[in-house]
Amino acid sequence: MSDSPIILGYDPETLRERIDPDAAAARYGEIERFRSLTALNERVALLRLLGRYDEAYDCAQAACRQSRFTGSREDSLAARVRRAQVEQYRGNLDIALQELTNCVDEAVAHEWGELAGFALQHRGKVLFDLERYEDALADFERALKYREAEGIPADQTNSTRFAIKVVRARIEGAAQPDEHEEPITSIDA
């Protein structure tokens, strides 16, 4: 397994990940033959980060199917969040927003705090893309509360804090914060 971080930071204009494409491609090569749900989910994220959206969507569909048959309801929800991320990157913002709203509602209803934070974080990014900054800020702030309560690693909560700073700056008309440049260890930040 490569020791190089894949996600290098976040772009303050888009909130999208800045990546090391060589590290992402190398990691994809390491796991592409594996068929476990964990490997499928990681492949979805890597393909999305590499800009291979159609392949990412096909892989996300496979992960959703596999999670329904072999995983828990939480696994299924996480796979749906990842599929919605792909839809966002494909430009299907309305589809992504609807799916993420369903995921947030389900996670909150079942008191799955980690998944609620994950879904809120990514719904916030869709709302950001839609320029609904007040709604995005509310989602990022809720995501941070869930993530902190669940003890999520600092690299992921830092990505949420960075998103909050960026959105607040947009709302206030202030200059954007500098690019977030702390290496990220999880591709699900």
* Side-chain half-sphere exposure of 73, counting CA atoms within 13 A: 7
Residue 49 DSSP class = H
Distance between CA atoms of residues 114 and 93, nearest Å: 23
Enumerate domains of the chain plus CATH numbers. 7-172 (1.25.40.10)
Question: How confident is the prediction for the chain on average, in pLDDT?
Answer: 91
In the chain, the amino acid numbered 41 is N
125's CB contacts (< 8 A; 6+ apart) are 15, 16, 88, 136, 163
Q: Which tens digit of pLDDT belongs to each residue from 70-109? A: 879 999 999 999 999 999 999 999 999 999 999 999 999 9
Lowest mean pLDDT among 8-22, 40-54, 125-139, 170-184: 170-184
Q: What is the crossing angle of helices 73-89 and 113-129, to 10°?
A: 10
- The pLDDT value recorded for residue 189 is 59
Task: Judge contact between 60 and 79, C-beta under 8 A.
Answer: yes
Tokens 């430009």, residue located: 91
For the chain, how far is it from start to end, CA to CA, in angstroms? 19
| Token digits of residue 39 | 């490997």
> Model pTM?
0.90
Indicate if the pLDDT at residue 179 is higher than 60.
no
Task: Judge contact between 156 and 188, C-beta under 8 A.
Answer: yes
Task: Judge contact between 73 and 65, C-beta under 8 A.
Answer: no
Distance between CA atoms of residues 130 and 101, nearest Å: 14
